[in-house]
Amino acid sequence: MRITVNAEPRDVPDHLTLEALIRDLELHKAPCAAEVNRTLIPKKRHPEHELREGDTVELVTLVGGG
């Protein structure tokens, strides 16, 4: 199926959860906020939140530096 992640179209497997997407993008090692279709999804719901065709996902994580 096709979704949009941080403004980039992406093909992903059907029934992909938000947690699996974050893990696939290697963002699971840092705190990560996730919004699906402009709705914030709490971290405790990431494992159960299944993405759907056409969803728009915004992922924000902290990046260190200086």
Whether pLDDT at 22 is above 90 = yes
Write the pLDDT tens digit of every residue in 6-20.
999 999 999 999 999
Q: Which residue has the tokens 């980039």?
A: 8
Q: Which residue has the higher pLDDT, 61 or 46?
A: 46
| Residue percentage of the chain with pLDDT more than 70 | 94
CATH top-level class of 2-61: alpha beta
Which of 20, 48, 16, 18 has its CA nearest to residue 35?
18
pLDDT at 40 over 80: yes
Domain boundaries, the chain: 2-61
Can you give the pTM of this predicted structure?
Answer: 0.90
Q: Give the model's pLDDT for residue 66.
A: 59
